[in-house]
Amino acid sequence: MNFENSLRDGKVKKIMPNKIRASSFFKSSIQAIETARLIKLNPDTLKSILRELYEGLREYCEGIGYLKGYKFLDHESITFFLRNILKEQSVSAKFDRYRKLRNGINYYGEDINIETIKEAITDIPQLIKELEKYSKI
């Protein structure tokens, strides 16, 4: 799959760029990351922390999509957007990894280990920092 397939299949819609909506997503993204950092790290909070971190990353990507004139109707299309449109191969691969981890805990009841969460606490804010160059309004 690629971004063109997502467009063709209706998983992404071409829209007028919307700076106000993008700005709102960027703000929500930062709030989600900050919320994740406030949650005490223990075995009972691991899934919640990952959900918040992933949500922050996804919202940031959605904001960039709104600046570029795209509305994503599924999360997998964001992976293709990062890879095919922004040409951010590494960010795309990491986004997809965290998407799959989040889907595993949300939809399949999978567990996650503390090492993965510690990595995500560092990794996801760094991914957002790498994407900042696309968020200039």
Mean pLDDT per 10-residue section of the chain, whose length is 137 residues: 96 98 98 97 97 98 98 98 98 98 96 97 98 93
pLDDT of res. 87: 98
What pTM does this model have? Answer: 0.96
CB 33, CB 53: distance < 8 Å: yes
pLDDT of res. 96: 98
For the chain, the structural domain boundaries read: 3-134
pLDDT of res. 137: 78
pLDDT of res. 67: 98
Could you please report the per-residue DSSP string of 64-130?
HHHHHTEEESSSHHHHHIIIIIS--HHHHHHHHHHHHHHHHHHHS-----HHHHHHHHHHHHHHHHH
pLDDT of res. 90: 98
Domain 3-134 has CATH 3.90.1150.10: no
pLDDT of res. 77: 98
- Contacts for 106 with CB less than 8 Å, ≥ 6 apart: 51
